[in-house]
Amino acid sequence: MTEQTLRTLQSNLADRDRLQSQATSQRVFRTPSEDPAAATAALGMHGEQARVAQYARNLSDGMAWVTTVDTALGASVDLLNRARDLTVQGANSGAVSQAARDSIAAELESISASLLAQANTTVLGRSVFAGTSDTGRAFEAGTFAFNGTAGSSVNRRINENQTVRVDVDGSQTFGVGATSVFAVLEGIAADLRAGADVGSRLADIDAGLDGMIAARGAVGGQQAQIERAMSQNLAVSVDLEARRADVEDVDSLEVLVRLQSAELVFQSALQVTARSLQTNLLEFLR
């Protein structure tokens, strides 16, 4: 009878200890052996949550890239439109003095330099127009040589089955060397200073504008794709957290009620046992 009583008391004490642990940790089990099936499900969900968190980081980084590219392309389009207006003014040779043409040429050179700065835009030291190249700038000043890896692309994985491009090929958007938009503007500036007709150069500017607008449209599509993926990834993350909580987390109120009940049962068992079995050990426990 004493051994059976001790086993019962030990069982009650273990149950109280388990509930105490649940109340303090807010977890249903401490070790996988307590509930192997739940532990297996929890481990699987933790792994899935880690993958979803990595996709979230990829999406955040990708959004930073496409936002930077879009801003640079928007500024470049504005600059090139200004250059076109100036070229139209300079082409009216009959109404524009040489001093005015020189002033227009100076502004065109300034716009060319500003365009070069936009083309060398970076994110955390990586050029957004140089592809997979780790060069600090996509174009060299003066020669306008392309330092990037033509035809390459920077991609970010946004879910298990999809990747999205987050950069733009600078060689296609701005041109290279003597055919680049930078060289075109400097050439127009030189023609204006020389008194030459620059009306025919408008076609070169329009071609550059078309390329930039097309590139910006593609970036807009990439940005929309990333935004959709971010929304979906957030929904998956919320769902996984709810499923994990169902498996691992406890109902605080329920656990407290059960803990109080277990404490009452244990104390009552001690008192009853102490009266029915007069032993030193049980008197000590009481």
Q: Could you tell me which residues come within 8 angstroms of residue 186 by beta carbon, excluding any fewer than 6 positions away?
A: 108, 109, 112
CA distance to 178, 208, 217, per residue, from 184 (Å): 7, 9, 23
> How many residues belong to the chain?
286
Res 95: pLDDT: 76
Residue 278 token pair: 């007069």
- 187-224 pLDDT tens trace: 999 999 998 889 899 999 999 999 999 999 999 999 99
Continuous segment of H or E residues that includes residue 145: none
CA-derived radius of gyration, the chain: 36
Res 18: pLDDT: 64
Sequential DSSP letters for 181-233? HHHHHHHHHHHHHHT---GGGHHHHHHHHHHHHHHHHHHHHHHHHHHHHHHHH
Res 26: pLDDT: 65
Q: Is residue 286 scored above 70 in pLDDT?
A: no
Give the whole-angstrom CA distance, residue 113 versus residue 122.
16
Q: Do the Cβ atoms of 156 and 163 come closer than 8 Å?
A: yes
Q: Could you tell me which residues come within 8 angstroms of residue 152 by beta carbon, excluding any fewer than 6 positions away?
A: 131, 132, 133, 169
Q: Which residue has the higher pLDDT, 39 or 102?
A: 102
The secondary structure of residue 139, as a DSSP letter, is: B
The separation between CA 134 and the C-alpha centre of its own chain, rounded to angstroms, equals: 20
Give the whole-angstrom CA distance, residue 171 versus residue 145.
9
Indicate the average pLDDT of the chain: 85
Residue 74: Cβ within 10 Å count: 14
Res 57: pLDDT: 96
Give all domains of the chain, ordered by start, each with its CATH number: 59-229 (1.20.1330.10)
Phi/psi of residue 131, each to 5°?
Answer: 65, -140
- 70-100 pLDDT tens trace: 999 999 999 999 999 999 999 886 678 889 9
- 155-194 pLDDT tens trace: 999 998 999 999 999 999 999 999 999 999 999 999 999 9
